[in-house]
Chains A and B, each alone.
Chain A
Amino acid sequence: MRFLEARSLAVAMGDTVVEPAPLKPTSEPTSGPPGNNGGSLLSVITEGVGELSVIDPEVAQKACQEVLEKVKLLHGGVAVSSRGTPLELVNGDGVDSEIRCLDDPPAQIREEEDEMGAAVASGTAKGARRRRQNNSAKQSWLLRLFESKLFDISMAISYLYNSKEPGVQAYIGNRLFCFRNEDVDFYLPQLLNMYIHMDEDVGDAIKPYIVHRCRQSINFSLQCALLLGAYSSDMHISTQRHSRGTKLRKLILSDELKPAHRKRELPSLSPAPDTGLSPSKRTHQRSKSDATASISLSSNLKRTASNPKVENEDEELSSSTESIDNSFSSPVRLAPEREFIKSLMAIGKRLATLPTKEQKTQRLISELSLLNHKLPARVWLPTAGFDHHVVRVPHTQAVVLNSKDKAPYLIYVEVLECENFDTTSVPARIPENRIRSTRSVENLPECGITHEQRAGSFSTVPNYDNDDEAWSVDDIGELQVELPEVHTNSCDNISQFSVDSITSQESKEPVFIAAGDIRRRLSEQLAHTPTAFKRDPEDPSAVALKEPWQEKVRRIREGSPYGHLPNWRLLSVIVKCGDDLRQELLAFQVLKQLQSIWEQERVPLWIKPYKILVISADSGMIEPVVNAVSIHQVKKQSQLSLLDYFLQEHGSYTTEAFLSAQRNFVQSCAGYCLVCYLLQVKDRHNGNILLDAEGHIIHIDFGFILSSSPRNLGFETSAFKLTTEFVDVMGGLDGDMFNYYKMLMLQGLIAARKHMDKVVQIVEIMQQGSQLPCFHGSSTIRNLKERFHMSMTEEQLQLLVEQMVDGSMRSITTKLYDGFQYLTNGIM
């Protein structure tokens, strides 16, 4: 039996959606020229799910409010019998199928209404009535909640998942429009997983929102398509093919959901093919078809089109775009990006076949240089937080990462930031060699010290040796090494000449310098610049990752033909091929949630969730943590203990730099210890723990979490990894910092416990339909909840933290596991 309130809620909702309908033409310029898109619209509708063509968030919000008001009104005093009115009203209005998307088919409503009416009329079923009253009480409480300011996206997701009532689900589906995009984006995996694996009502409630957002953003479309694919992959292939998830994915990829407004706005800025020319040139080019006129186009392609076949393809292409041009749409807007991703994945696959890291690296560089020939293009990095076009991959900077049998690699990507990806045209290609004209030797920034500075920097020292013989022939006037006057074109001639005038003309005194100064300078400079790592053929990434990010950006910018553009940005991304990143994504979400909980509760724990792009069930991309290298690399390169390395990098115990690095270390350790405990993160060897330039540790690789652990060897039984080396950096077991560390853990645990639902919800929803190893068994969620120890007092929790720290300290398993990793993988 359906509940009256819920139903009226739903129906009323349908009602209110009708209301703004007359406004549509003015507030919605998106419907476009009629007939143009009509066919596709219809086909969408016939797919069985009501299609809300576009819902403006504001409109939706207004609708929600009105619904609530109406419901309130109904509760306020209108008799049950009069409830027919709004229903009638709705039906009487003949809700247009185009805008009616949330409610059940009218027939069903009517039927239920009759049923309900009968129930009310008979008034016999006491039990039913009581239940209804209870329910209405609950429902009204629910409505108040929904209406309240406290009702956030997390709750919305939770009710969407837990509520079995289509009305509530539909309401929440509509309510999604009221949240900020970024807030909903965070729960996108949950929303889509529910869409794929839960019943139809939930799906129907979610779909309009998804469709709406897909229309708005190409990046959102891509993410949806990828996630839908990845989370459908655990289904049996036969069900998968017909599943709603697959259908929605096809719909998105079919390009039906391209932003409608582009049709209007873009006749001049058409997103036509990227020949690398300015828009005006492009339109000009499109109009001409003769061979001579297409020289600029073909010369652009010559570079890449080395065979006639491809060139033909391209011609076909240009003609096809010409025809499509009339409707001002690009040929399948997601295609370039998907191809870009596929190219990157294909590189990864081929690298995996090569035996040595060195070969992999060289191959990677050549492959990427080929890829460069196709850039700039209408492609972007989904892990970035802003709109941009990818213009170049500085291929020589790419590195292969450490992995035993796969070939993950890290690339840097030069992009040009833009206002709006859809409307901005693809930047023009600048040939690689063009940099030569913009940057010549003469303009080379001076990064060494000039002669002049050098002379000034040395205190003129007394000639200790008084070794007359050594200086005996000094006829000061002749001492200068003669310079060819005319052709000198030294790197720093300006400063040089000024030095000449100072040293050789004004003062004929020779400048003396102390050898000790030079030597000291050398060791100081090497100490001050954060130590660079030595090149290790077995670990090519160490050097690249150690280089400070800012320095790398500067260096790459200097070497890039696009570097002079003000909107030039450098991004980096790790391409993983053959790895399932769905668990990584789950871990990212949990970390992000914990981070915001701790921030909200003002616990200074530090963790660094890094962005994950799930491309399929066995591929994806990871946003690298900048300025960080693994502890394994640190130890192998420096041959120092962690503490000594801290001293080397940041200065001695009492320096501000060391203390701040130590504090960062403690705060991040505490944060990650809690994460490791709550999520049961395993495989914690030093290759999976990074250390950044500020002293934070960052755990990476969440391949073994919750119910899965590596190879069931029974290692790593401790709650988290805490080695004596870590404790040494914190200042030892008796130090203040160690106590601070434990206190942080306690505070963090208390805070996390307070918001347990927010954390558990993320995991629980993703368990739906999943065969990921982290969900293995039936007790994953129960165990997770237990680790929050809801029933404990704070004193008990404190004891628990003490025990866990103690246990981890004493745990030989951590040590044993490190030894095991050293033996098997060479990780220190």
Chain B
Amino acid sequence: MAQVEKRGGLLRKSSASKKPLKEKVVLMYDEIFMTEDPSKCSPRFWEELFLMKALGEEHPIRVVNALQTLCALIRGVHQKNKSTSGFDIINMLMGFDKAELCMKNLMESLDSLLCAEGSESLKSLCLKLLLCLVTVTDNISQNTILEYVMINSIFEAILQILSHPPSRREHGYDAVVLLALLVNYRKYESVNPYIVKLSIVDDEATLNGMGLVIAQALSEYNRQYKDKEEEHQSGFFSALTNMVGSMFIADAHEKISVQTNEAILLALYEAVHLNRNFITVLAQSHPEMGLVTTPVSPAPTTPVTPLGTTPPSSDVISSVELPLDADVQTSNLLITFLKYSSIVMQDTKDEHRLHSGKLCLIILTCIAEDQYANAFLHDDNMNFRVNLHRMPMRHRKKAADKNLPCRPLVCAVLDLMVEFIVTHMMKEFPMDLYIRCIQVVHKLLCYQKKCRVRLHYTWRELWSALINLLKFLMSNETVLLAKHNIFTLALMIVNLFNMFITYGDTFLPTPSSYDELYYEIIRMHQSFDNLYSMVLRLSTNAGQWKEAASKVTHALVNIRAIINHFNPKIESYAAVNHISQLSEEQVLEVVRANYDTLTLKLQDGLDQYERYSEQHKEAAFFKELVRSISTNVRRNLAFHTLSQEVLLKEFSTIS
């Protein structure tokens, strides 16, 4: 339609003259909109429209023109008829009686174009058309025309694109976004064949291809962000920091923002959530992105054939060669995703970032529930150095990246959660994100407890982050209570501690880490005392929080037992030894000496959790998310990526 309008504009100018001189194309377009079916009176009408010269039936230029016209037409019709129902639009475009056949033909043509060994630009245009078709409405589920896309599946074509390295490099991104959107069509209301099909894909090449596309997009974002950040730091900013300290960091920081990519994140979510085989792709190691993006044409690979089928000329050493060099770190999709999350989650102020941050946490929740994912997260042999982005803050220096230890991946996940906890205690309290964050930690602990994984992690950081969060909840009680039920969160935090207290023997790395837990609780006993009096107060009042608060009081029973047991002993130790301030070592000594007289209560259900379920709780969020993605995709769709000139060159019949 864009074309049509443009020409229309020209027309208006020239129409000032008495004799409107019209190009033939314009005349023909006029004809389309005037009569019922121009091909009735002139059977060769469409051919004439799409091919100025008498080109063959299947000539690419003809196809290109047709595709572009369809894009314009679909979009135009929708733009002009925003309030019209989907059925009316179908009627308008094709007529109900013919719609089914029309769409079947269209989808079949697109499918064969996408799968054929044909031109890459044609394939690209096909995908653009499909994306255009999918995103014409804000709410994808109201786009009735997609029913035909459901019936005439192009799922297989999408998979084929993803499984072939050359086509994946060219079209992978569009294909993945298209798939993510199609999966969200009437997700909760009807049986969407794309959901069913995606959930059972098990072809390694396809899944890996999908993973690579996602990893590439995410790491591109990470790279852009890093570039911008460096730009900022190397400028006036670094000089300023030196002088004024880090006062303005937060302000300056907000300027560094790169457009987040929710579409690709949604694709990652759908893959992780729907397809259980995709989890393995997360851990597929690939060299750090950037190197791979440069078309690794004829990869100088190995005996790519299965070994048993090697040609007799075996004296020629064909060796496995990875495009790696010494200073390129091996990475995988999960690491890239964690880095991405660390950037996105640091700032949840604007809507997009809040969405992205939430989606990241949802994906992490799915990962933390998955047995296989947990197995490789906790694999002692798969150690990585994950450079998470850390928000510069007043009271801490930016950690030097270089000294990061190489650890199992779960440490990076926990680091990310701790980082989130300590950086989001603000008035605009992201309660929902906090709950998800604590859930992720809890799920990981459940796995560790169950499989007796003794992770060498600095649990202390987590404990103190959690206690600080409790403190924050209490000091902002009135403000927060106006908007949130803070007791759910408080209960979850307390129960994390209960998990450590009751089941610490099954997953803590050393006996002294158990002592440290007690030390931390005793050291911060004031916070627990305060929490206790708060929940006690609210649970005895007959207010709306009575029930929620009383649950917390019950959950606090062991923590209070610990505090009440050890505090007097520590005091008497101090008195006997005439020490005013006990050192950590001394407190630990008291702790170690007095375990045996401490009785705890066995609490139920500490190691249980509710599994993630999209259908009931998250539907609204995903509807909103898909709406914003649709708008975004539509806005960014570029039809004119293929200039007429290039096309003519490519498809020229005169050689």
Contacts and interface: CB of A to CB of B under 8 A. Distances in A.
A367 to B, nearest CB: 6
Contacts of B452: 447-448
A543 B561 contact: no
A624 to B, nearest CB: 16
B557 A479 contact: yes
A500 B602 contact: no
A353 B314 contact: no
A347 B320 contact: yes
Interface in A464-515: 464-465, 467, 469-471, 473-474, 478-484, 487-493, 496, 499-500, 503-504, 510-515
Nearest to A479: B554
Interface stretch (B9-17, B171-179, B198-206, B358-366): B198-206
Contacts of A275: 306, 309
Interface stretch (B57-65, B323-331, B422-430, B470-478): B323-331
B307 A375 contact: yes
B305 A374 contact: yes
B604 A518 contact: no
B607 A487 contact: no
A370 B326 CA distance: 18
Contacts of A22: none
Interface in A370-421: 370-371, 374-379, 396-397, 399
A267 to B, nearest CB: 18
Interface in A231-267: none
Nearest to B297: A307
Interface residues of B, number: 112
A465 B597 contact: yes
A339 interface: yes
A455 interface: yes
A522 B285 contact: no
B500 to A, nearest CB: 10
A320 B310 CA distance: 10
Nearest to B285: A366
Contact of B595 (A449, A493, A516): A516
A336 B380 contact: no
A458 B579 CA distance: 37
B314 A338 contact: yes
A332 B381 contact: no
Interface stretch (B388-396, B501-509, B637-645): B501-509
Given A462-B599, A481-B555, A303 B205 contact: yes
A26 interface: no
A153 interface: no
Contacts of A21: none
A449 B309 CA distance: 49
B406 A537 contact: yes
A525 B505 contact: yes
A309 interface: yes
Contacts of A305: 304-305
A434 B312 CA distance: 32
B207 A441 contact: no
Contacts of B561: 465, 467, 470-471
B56 interface: no
Contacts of B508: 522
B252 to A, nearest CB: 34
A391 B179 CA distance: 34
A544 to B, nearest CB: 6
Contacts of B303: 339, 343, 374
A462 B319 CA distance: 69
Given A331-B310, A377-B306, A512 B599 contact: yes
Contacts of B23: none
A131 interface: no
Contacts of A444: 371, 450-451
Interface stretch (B26-34, B341-349, B461-469, B608-616): B608-616
B202 A433 contact: yes
B311 interface: yes
A303 B599 contact: no
B446 A490 contact: yes
A523 interface: yes
Contact of A464 (B491, B536, B598): B598
Nearest to B379: A396
Nearest to B308: A274
Nearest to A311: B304
Contacts of A448: 449-452, 506
Contacts of B510: 522, 526
B481 interface: no
A522 B381 contact: no
Interface string A277-314: 00000000000000000000001111111111110011
B514 interface: yes
A374 B307 contact: yes
B273 to A, nearest CB: 14
Contacts of B299: 306-307
Given A307-B298, A481-B555, A358 B304 contact: no
Nearest to A347: B320
Nearest to B446: A491
B305 A314 contact: yes
A316 interface: yes
B335 to A, nearest CB: 11
Interface stretch (B79-87, B119-127, B274-282): B274-282
Given A377-B307, A496-B608, A365 B330 contact: yes
A489 B314 contact: no
B504 A518 contact: yes
A469 B555 CA distance: 15
14 contacts: A299-B163, A310-B304, A314-B305, A331-B311, A378-B307, A441-B369, A448-B451, A467-B564, A474-B554, A481-B555, A481-B606, A490-B609, A513-B602, A515-B599
Given A431-B202, A487-B611, A516-B597, 4 more contacts: A369-B285, A435-B372, A440-B371, A441-B370
Kindly list the 9 A-B residue pairs having the minimum CB-CB distance in the complex, ordered from nearest. Answer: A274-B308, A273-B309, A377-B307, A490-B608, A346-B319, A433-B277, A335-B314, A516-B596, A378-B308
